[in-house]
Amino acid sequence: MEIESLRKEMHILPDLKQAVDFMSEKYDIMYEELTSLRSLSSSLQAENSRILNDLKELKLKVQQMEQYSRDCNIEIQCLPEHKQENLVNTVQQLAKIVSCPLEEKDIQQCTRVAKKDNQSSRPRATILKLSTPRLRDCLLAAVLTFNKNKPKEEKLNTAHLGIGGDKSPVYVSEHL
C-alpha cells in the first residue's frame, strides 16, 4: 500500500523537477541582473563623486575669478543721485578731498548698480573700477586717513563733495 501511494506521487516528480529547474533559471537571471545593477550602482556612485569634486573645484575657481575681477573695485555708498550727474567728476573730487591723486585715465569704469531693495530711499551704490589694485588701495587708505583725522561730524560727507542739500555721510569700501 505504501508502495502504491509512492508510485502515485512519483508521477509528480517530473513536474516538480521542471518547476525547480524553472525557479533555478529565474534565480540565476535575477542574480545576474542584481550583480549587474550593483556594478552599475558602484560605477555611478564613483562617477557622481568625481562630478561633485569637479563641481566643487569649478565653484572655487569661479569664486576666485569673481574676486580677482573685483580686485580693482571700490564701492561708494550713500552718494546722492542726480539726473545730470557725472560720476567720474564726483569720484575725482572725492579723491582730491582725501588727498589721493586720481586722473581720469585711472578710472576704467564708474557706474551705479541696482538696489537690493527698491523701496529703500537710500541712493544706489556706485562701483568704481580703477586701473590697478595699488591705486584702489591708495584711495581706500586716503579715505581711511581722512576719516580718522576728522571728528565724527566732519568725516567724508556730501558737503565735502560740493553736493547741495542736507549733509550726509559718504562711505567708501572695497567691492567684495
**Would you tell me how many other CB atoms lie within 10 Å of the CB of residue 123?**
17
- Scanning 70-132, the segments in alpha helix (DSSP H) are 87-97
Do 81 and 54 fall within a single domain?
no
Q: Three cell numbers at 168?
A: 550726509
Whether 52 and 81 share a structural domain? no
Across the chain, what does the average pLDDT equal? 89
Pairing of strands 171-174, 126-130: unpaired
Where among 43, 68, 93 does a domain terminate? 68
Same domain, 78 and 143: yes
Judgement on whether residues 79 and 62 belong to the same structural domain of the protein: no
Domain coverage including residue 61:
2-68
If we measure between CA atoms, which residue out of 125, 135, 124, 114 comes closest to residue 71?
Answer: 135
Whether 60 and 12 share a structural domain: yes
Give, rounded to a whole angstrom, the gap between the first and last alpha carbons of the chain: 98
3-class DSSP state of 171: strand
- Our count of domains for the chain comes to 2
Whether 142 and 83 map to the same domain: the answer is yes
Q: What is the pLDDT of residues 36-62, one digit of tens each?
A: 999 999 999 999 999 999 999 999 999
61 plus 85 within the same structural domain: no
Last residue of a domain, one of 20, 36, 68: 68
Q: Which cell numbers hold the place of 108?
A: 576704467
Shared domain for 43 and 75, answered yes or no, is no
Q: Which three cell numbers stand for residue 124?
A: 544706489
Residues 47 and 111 in one domain: no
Identify whether residues 75 and 154 lie together within a single domain: yes
Which of 13, 46, 68 is a domain's end point?
Answer: 68
Query: Which CATH number is 102's domain given?
Result: 3.30.70.1820
What residues contact residue 34 under an 8 Å CB cut-off, 6+ apart? Answer: none
Confidence of residue 176 (pLDDT cuts 50, 70, 90): confident
pLDDT, tens digit, for every residue of 66-121?
Answer: 888 888 999 999 888 888 889 999 899 999 999 998 898 999 999 998 878 777 78
Sequence-ordered list of residues with C-beta below 8 angstroms from that of 129, at least 6 positions apart, any chain: 72, 73, 107, 108, 109, 110
173 phi, psi to nearest 5 deg: -150, 175
Do 170 and 84 share a domain, yes or no?
yes
pTM value surpassing 0.75: no
117 and 157 share a domain?
yes
